[in-house]
Amino acid sequence: MPTYDFRCDACGATREVRARYETVAGLELVCVLCGGRMTKTFTATVGLMTRSAAAPSPAPPRRKGRRGGDSCDAALKLTKPNPFAAELRRVADANQGAEER
C-alpha cells in the first residue's frame, strides 16, 4: 500500500498514512494535536522497475507511532463536532503560554 503525507492546515503537524489509492482521494483527517483539518500534501516519490540483476536496496526502518504501534497518530474525519475541541484548544493555549515564559 502506498504511503501518503498529510499536513494540518492549522498547526502544520504532519502524519504519514498508508491507504489504497481509491481510499485516499476522499480521505479527510483530523489533527490529534489541535483538532484542525489535515490535507494530503504533494509527494514526489516514484518507483521504477528495471531488468537489472542488482540486489534491491534494503527497506527503510519502520517508524513507530507515539504509542509504540505501527499505526499513525492521525484520526479519521468526525461525523459530529469534536467533543474534545475545547479541551484541545485549552491545552494548546496553555502549552503555548508556557513556551512564551
What is the tens place of the pLDDT at every residue in 61-83?
655 555 554 555 556 666 667 77
What pTM, to 2 d.p., does this model score?
A: 0.43
C-alpha cell at 90: 485549552
**HSE-up (13 A, CA, CB side) for residue 71:** 5
Residues of the chain with pLDDT below 50 are 69
pLDDT of residue 11: 92
